[in-house]
Amino acid sequence: MLAAAAIEDVAAWQRLIDGYAPLFDPLADGAAVGLAARFFADAGGARRAAAMPSTPPLPMLVWRKRGGRMVVQAGAYRGLDGLGVDLVFLAGDGALAAVLARAEHPLGEMKRQLRAARIQFFVLRTKRELADLGYEDFVEALGLPFLGACR
Amino acid sequence: MTQRPGEAQLPHLFKPGRIGKFATRNLIKYGACCVSNYNGRDGTVTPRELARMRVIANTGCGIITNQGAYPDPRGEGKAYFRQVAIFDDRFLPEFELIARYIHDGGALAIQQILHAGRYGGIDLGYCVQPSVVPQTLPHFRPPREMTKDDIRLCIREHAEAARRSIKAGFDGTEVTSFMGYLLANFNSKFTNQRSDEYGGSTRNRGRFMRELIDGMKQATPDHPVIIRLNGAELMDNWGGNDEDECFELMGQAVECGVDMISVTVGWQEAPESSIGRDIPPGHWNYLAARAKKSFPGTLIAFGNRLPDPGMANDCIARGEFDYWEVCRPLLADPEMVHKVAEGRQEEVRRCIGSLNCLSRLFRDLPYTCTMNPALGHEVEPEYAVTPATVRKKVMVIGAGPAGMECALTAAKRGHSVTVFEKSDRIGGSLLGYATHDLARPDDLLSVIRHYEVMARKLGVEVRLGTEANAKLMRSLLHQFDACVVAAGAGIDLDHYDRLEGRERLVDALDVARGRAQAGKRVVVLGGGKVGLVVAESLRKRGAEVAIVEEDKRLAGDVMPSFKWRHSAWVEELEIRTFLSARATRITAEGVHVASAKGETFVPADTVIAAGPRKSNQSLFRDFEWMIDELHGCGDALMPRGLDAAIQEGYRLGVRI
Ligand SMILES: Cc1cc2nc3c(=O)[nH]c(=O)nc-3n(C[C@H](O)[C@H](O)[C@H](O)COP(=O)(O)OP(=O)(O)OC[C@H]3O[C@@H](n4cnc5c(N)ncnc54)[C@H](O)[C@@H]3O)c2cc1C
Ligand SMILES: Cc1cc2nc3c(=O)[nH]c(=O)nc-3n(C[C@H](O)[C@H](O)[C@H](O)COP(=O)(O)O)c2cc1C
Ligand code: SF4
């Protein structure tokens, strides 16, 4: 499945993240994570950070903490600048579909895709901001070292 | 100087060498492995650093590289909280001292210049890079793109730093791109997405490096310039350079006439391990061999995850590289080169690849070493092993790492030491940990072998199969002056008091030590370090394994550098995990697990208790009125880990 198709399945993502409610408990209201297809971000070798052409709008999934719950909604991807999210995952073809397809512990699959760089992860805020927003548990649960990596 | 016995056994390593006009007494280079976080926040060198440098200066290496200093007054190149700076002459006096220490120790002195680029700007709200590529690790700062003026200034600052190093008395300089610093950022197509003459083709991306080398060589024409370059970035999947491109860039450095290339591996943000214990020694040697074959006229230094002097000697003999560039093994044992040269190799305390040292740097803490508790405390006489004023008879209860470390240290000071160990081997819990370690058991087992060798050499009596208790103590009354309780910790089975079927639980420490066998379907209660190590090992041996953890994530008590490793292993091994969950009932068929998602039944023939641990402290009470001095160390005080056990054992040993 193309990453774009998996991104559009808002209900499936909502079910998935509802299963991890304790992980998102520490997140402050307004904290937001974006998921987009890597194809868009890499298109034509364009700079990852550069603004993308705005037409047609490219699908993005946003998980935003609202009223104590992580809510999944559709968004638009226009390059990494001004995305309005704190973290962004850029997924290659098949990666997000594999996450959705895993019945038990789907974030485990996400972790695996991250390690293989089939999903890339970029940080759009400072460490302090992320810590204040309560991201430490979530980031570490994905196998990403919140502090230095020590490889 | 006459040849020492070990030098004849490793003749290639101990052969004299030459870099530029400078001779070196052997082919061992102390890699810049000393970003220490011991210094002033303003980049000034402290007495703590100077004391540490004296130790480094006397390691016996032919070349010693002083830690990377940042070259710019803005601090954009500064990666570490208390990193040293070299952007101004006011820093000269301490660098002069360091160069003198190194020369007095008989080595060639090289000063490294470290501009951290993408990982820099620790005191600023940003870092500088060739292009704006956001960070992949939260630890680092948001990027700003360098203008051409910035690039020119940066090169000038490197040249100035090189000139200043030579003025301080250093013989040569080195620029590092280790683990993804500025130079690596320009070289890599992951972080260099510029469209001007500094970006695009490999040739263009290498322009910054070529100009940098030119600038430094012009500033210090009579002195060697060394460059550390990635043989592999391990960032290919992120759009970084592949190995061929890395070697193309090395070729450009050779064209510019660098005197030595130090080949390194990996970036900090690479998803793969590069220098951890999970990488077998010698794994990356092929990169050095390729560099030497490609550039036979340029000196190649190499050492990443090559801890064995014998292996290094053989590589040099085969012409795979010219200098063994060694770092962490000399943190773990600063005497290593001397011990090897004197044929006392079995006394070497090995680096176990715990990466405690680097983990601490990333937490803005001074670095320490799991295996070398004196490291970083050289300035404090309290940490030195000095002859005891009053020689005592010391009894140590427990031959785990805490007990053995204390016993050996006390013995070195002249005390007469007896260790009482109830099991039949030295090692304590470490034995179970080492046996099941997925990364590399031999490194952990080397700690136990070291204790065995040193106990023999220092005349420490170890009474195996002897349980210390009040009865034994009564039989020994007045025979000892001091007693150290280092009896470790056990799994706290009381934690499962309300668990139905708790009598079916098997203790994780018994499984770890082989006193209990697990079946083919295992549930491990507890996803901390003990539970994880046991679970991974059983899974690797073919069992179906699930972990039930009460917390919302695994590895809560694991040291930072191994958290992500466990996380990856659990995934790779397909171990089922239940987080924010607890077992409610154990039956002959399996375990009922409750979580926010409801109750799940997990079939199992063995359920292992690996939850909270409890210190074995009863002896403190029993012995209180039976001996003059009563002390404790390690897990017996509070269950923690190997690092704390070794540090505490040593600290007590130097004090008793
Ligand atoms: C499976 C497993 C995995 C682990 N994983 C990690 C890890 O990843 N990282 C980490 O840092 N640590 C880990 N550990 C923990 C680490 O091994 C311990 O923290 C460390 O060994 C503690 O050292 P110690 O000397 O204080 O106690 P121990 O190593 O427990 O030694 C205590 C010794 O005292 C002896 N003893 C007890 N009572 C008596 C008595 N009355 N008389 C005589 N002898 C007695 C015991 O037999 C034992 O040999 C793990 C341990 C296990 C079992
Ligand atoms: C505590 C510590 C500090 C280090 N500081 C530097 C440094 O200042 N500059 C550098 O290029 N590499 C530095 N390194 C990397 C080492 O020089 C070396 O390349 C790496 O540790 C792998 O070699 P080893 O397996 O012999 O330890 C450091 C490593 C450690 C563990
Ligand atoms: S802390 Fe660990 S990795 Fe670092 S030098 Fe010491 S033993 Fe080696």
Which pLDDT tens digit goes with each residue over B350-361? 999 999 999 899
B609/B647 same-domain check:
no
Least confident of B2-6, B83-87, B201-205: B2-6
B565/B645 same-domain check:
no
Q: Mutate which of B264, B268, B273, B327 to test ligand 2's pocket (most atoms within 8 Å of Cβ)?
A: B327
Task: List the single residue in B561, B563, B567 with the smallest CB-CB distance to A111.
Answer: B567
Residues in A touching B580 (Cβ below 8 Å): 22
Is residue B233 scored above 90 in pLDDT?
A: yes
B313/B255 same-domain check:
yes
Is residue A46 scored above 90 in pLDDT?
A: no
Which pLDDT tens digit goes with each residue over A108-123? 899 999 988 899 999 9
Number of domains comprising chain B: 3
Angle among Cα B543, B546, B552 to the nearest 5 degrees reads 155
Asked if residue B367 is part of any domain, the answer here is: no
B544/B625 same-domain check:
no
Q: Is B35 in the pocket of ligand 2 (CB under 6 A)?
A: yes
Instruction: Check which CATH number belongs to the domain holding A30 and give it.
Output: 3.30.1050
Is residue A137 scored above 90 in pLDDT?
A: no
**B599 phi and psi angles, rounded to 5 deg:** -105, 140
Asked if residue B447 is part of any domain, the answer here is: yes
In this prediction, residues B404-417 reach a mean pLDDT of 98
Task: List the single residue in A45, A146, A151 with the smallest CB-CB distance to B266.
Answer: A151
Which pLDDT tens digit goes with each residue over B595-633? 887 999 999 999 999 999 999 999 999 999 999 999 999
Place of tokens 């002959």: B588
Q: Does A71 touch chain B (CB under 8 A)?
A: no
Which pLDDT tens digit goes with each residue over B362-374? 889 999 999 999 9
Asked if residue A72 is part of any domain, the answer here is: yes
B628/B595 same-domain check:
no
- Alpha-carbon separation of residue A141 from A119, A149, B158 (angstroms): 15, 14, 40
* Whole-number pLDDT of residue B559: 87
B78/B122 same-domain check:
yes
Percent of chain B whose pLDDT exceeds 70: 100
Amino acid in position B527:
G
B581/B636 same-domain check:
no
CB B83 within 8 A of CB B43: yes
Give the chain A residue nearest B142 (alpha carbons): A126
- Joined together, the tokens standing for residue B588 give 């002959």
Q: For residues B97-119, b (16+ Cβ closer than 10 Å) or e, as one string?
A: bbbebbbebbbbbbbbbbbbbbb
Which pLDDT tens digit goes with each residue over B255-270? 999 999 999 999 998 8
**B55 phi and psi angles, rounded to 5 deg:** -65, -45
Is residue B539 scored above 80 in pLDDT?
A: yes
Is residue A42 scored above 80 in pLDDT?
A: no
Task: List the single residue in B134, B552, B560 with the smallest CB-CB distance to A150.
Answer: B560
Q: B325 forms bridges with which residues in the sheet?
A: B29
Where is pLDDT greater, at B543 or B238? B543
Residue of B123, B135, B179 best to disrupt the A interface, most CBs of A under 10 A: B135
Show which of B326, B361, B396 is a domain's final residue: B361
Place of tokens 């263009």: B204
Q: Residue B530 C-alpha to ligand 1 middle, in angstroms?
A: 10
The total of other beta-carbon atoms located within 10 Å of residue B478's CB is 9
Percent of chain B whose pLDDT exceeds 90: 92
Given the CA of residue B648, which atom of ligand 1 is nearest to it? 26
**Alpha helices (H) along B284-385:** 285-294, 309-317, 328-332, 336-341, 356-362
B496/B514 same-domain check:
yes
Asked if residue B542 is part of any domain, the answer here is: yes
B425/B450 same-domain check:
yes
Q: Mutate which of B273, B331, B642 to test ligand 3's pocket (most atoms within 8 Å of Cβ)?
A: B331
Q: Residue B305 C-alpha to ligand 2 middle, in angstroms?
A: 10
Domain extent, residue B563, equals: 492-613
Q: Please, which pLDDT band fits residue A49 given cuts at 50, 70 and 90?
A: very low
Which pLDDT tens digit goes with each residue over B167-179? 999 999 999 988 8
* Whole-number pLDDT of residue A23: 87
Helices (H) and strands (E) in chain A, counts: 8, 5
Q: Please, which pLDDT band fits residue A57 given cuts at 50, 70 and 90?
A: low
Q: Residue A150 C-alpha to ligand 2 middle, in angstroms?
A: 11
- Average pLDDT of chain B is 96
Domain extent, residue A87, equals: 4-138
Asked if residue A40 is part of any domain, the answer here is: yes
In this prediction, residues A80-106 reach a mean pLDDT of 89
Which residue is closest in CA terms to ligand 2's atom 6?
Answer: B33
Show which of B346, B361, B376 is a domain's final residue: B361
DSSP strand pairing (B28-30 vs B63-69): parallel
Q: Is B423 in the pocket of ligand 1 (CB under 6 A)?
A: yes
CB B508 within 8 A of CB B534: yes
Is residue A82 scored above 70 in pLDDT?
A: yes
Residue of B123, B139, B351 best to disrupt the A interface, most CBs of A under 10 A: B139
Cβ of A49 within 8 Å of Cβ of B125? The answer is no
Q: Is B166 in the pocket of ligand 2 (CB under 6 A)?
A: no
Spell out the residues 6+ positions from residue B80 whose beta carbon is closer than 8 angstroms to its own: B35, B37, B122, B361, B364
Whole-model pTM: value is 0.95
Residues in B touching A25 (Cβ below 8 Å): 552
**Alpha helices (H) along B10-104:** 47-57, 92-104
Residues in A touching B276 (Cβ below 8 Å): 150-151
In this prediction, residues B427-431 reach a mean pLDDT of 98
Pocket-forming residues, ligand 3, beta carbon under 6 Å: B 328, 331-332, 351-357, 369-371
B532 to chain A, minimum CA–CA distance in Å? 15
Asked if residue A58 is part of any domain, the answer here is: yes
**Alpha helices (H) along B522-612:** 529-540, 560-572
The total of other beta-carbon atoms located within 10 Å of residue B30's CB is 27
Is residue A79 scored above 90 in pLDDT?
A: no
- Joined together, the tokens standing for residue B321 give 């590289």
B52/B123 same-domain check:
yes
Instruction: Check which CATH number belongs to the domain holding B570 and give it.
Output: 3.50.50.60
Which pLDDT tens digit goes with each residue over B32-70? 987 899 999 999 999 999 999 999 999 999 999 999 999
Which pLDDT tens digit goes with each residue over B66-78? 999 999 999 999 9
Quick one: which ligand is closest to B325's CA? 2
Instruction: Check which CATH number belongs to the domain holding B454 and give it.
Output: 3.40.50.720
* Whole-number pLDDT of residue B369: 97
* Whole-number pLDDT of residue A4: 64
Is residue A48 scored above 50 in pLDDT?
A: no
B633/B575 same-domain check:
no
Residues in B touching A123 (Cβ below 8 Å): 134-138, 140
Q: Residue A146 C-alpha to ligand 1 middle, in angstroms?
A: 29
Q: Mutate which of B33, B45, B440 to test ligand 2's pocket (most atoms within 8 Å of Cβ)?
A: B33
Number of domains comprising chain A: 1
Cα separation, B120 vs B105, in Å, equals: 32
Is residue A80 scored above 90 in pLDDT?
A: no
In this prediction, residues B589-598 reach a mean pLDDT of 92
In this prediction, residues B99-128 reach a mean pLDDT of 97
**B302 phi and psi angles, rounded to 5 deg:** -155, 150
Asked if residue A147 is part of any domain, the answer here is: no
Where is pLDDT greater, at B110 or A104? B110
* Whole-number pLDDT of residue A40: 56
Asked if residue A85 is part of any domain, the answer here is: yes
Residues in B touching A124 (Cβ below 8 Å): 134, 142
Q: Is B356 in the pocket of ligand 2 (CB under 6 A)?
A: no
B314/B296 same-domain check:
yes
